[in-house]
Amino acid sequence: MRPRIAIPADTLTEATNIINERNAAFAPRPLIEAVVKSGGLPIILPSVDPQLAVNYLPLFDGVIFAGGADVDPTFFNEEPHLKLGMTYRKRDLFEIALVKEALDAGKALMGICRGMQLINIALGGSVYQDLSEYPHPTLKHSQDAPGNLPSHHVSVAADSRIFKLIGQRAYVNSRHHQALHKIAPSLQVTATADDQIPEAVESIANDWVLAVQWHPENMFKHYQYSQAIFADLIQRAKENK
């Protein structure tokens, strides 16, 4: 049996004239394909009452917190910054509950972009709500290049899990206007861009969390080191079964 990889859904908040598409739960197709190609079975979880999150645990072995809207800053005790993007509190509530339940159950977690920020916030960290809040000028992290092509490099800590997957220095894509600020106590930064913006975090005490600020699901077909991140999740999901 393939490891089952849950993907908490994004929500299509823009109204269409088809009533059944309003607030439709969806997952990015490239992410689904990356999971299948890497040996997992993807399962999409709609956002529901966070108290129900625990009921999903028997259905999956690993979970990917995917990209999407900004996390509501009230979850890290801040009011909205002028440059905060769209937020959708219902997804945040469900995913924060699912992070905690999944970790309590020893599941393998992966985070992508917003997903890395969400995991950090769920575990007690925070983000800069916009890169203009960062204490010094940054690189361009909202690339205008096509999303399946890399645009900036990351440097990787030698003793980290991700080092074994992507090496000491990797060329990655970048589509974020926020960045990790306070790092959650149970996480450590294991890759940074040359402006010191965190680009990957991992759990300190175990191998349960590996999250990246970039989008490997848009690069996995042509960049082996992007697929390696998914293969690692599948492996961790197998071990934690």
Q: List the x/- string, 137-156, binding to Mn ion by CB under 5 A.
A: ----x---------------
95 flagged as catalytic:
no
- Residue 17's CB is within 10 A of a number of other CB atoms, namely 6
Q: How far is the CB of 111 from Mn ion (least distance, A)?
A: 14
141 flagged as catalytic:
no
DSSP string, 60-114: -SEEEE---SBPPGGGGT-PPPTT---B-HHHHHHHHHHHHHHHHTT-EEEEETH
Provide the 8-state DSSP code for 116. Answer: H
Nearer to Mn ion by Cβ, of 91 and 141: the residue is: 141
Q: How far is the CB of 105 from Mn ion (least distance, A)?
A: 31
Cβ-contact 208, 25 below 8 angstroms: no
Q: How far is the CB of 171 from Mn ion (least distance, A)?
A: 11
Catalytic residue among 95, 199, 202, 217: 217
Cβ-contact 219, 226 below 8 angstroms: yes
Say how far apart CA 156 and CA 131 lie, in whole Å.
21
Catalytic residue among 113, 152, 199, 202: 113
Say how far apart CA 142 and CA 178 lie, in whole Å.
10
Does 215 bind Mn ion (CB under 5 A)? Our answer is no
Nearer to Mn ion by Cβ, of 192 and 235: the residue is: 192
Q: How far is the CB of 70 from Mn ion (least distance, A)?
A: 15
Does 174 bind Mn ion (CB under 5 A)? Our answer is yes
Q: Catalytic positions, please? A: 113, 215, 217
Sites of contact with Mn ion (CB under 5 A) = 141, 174
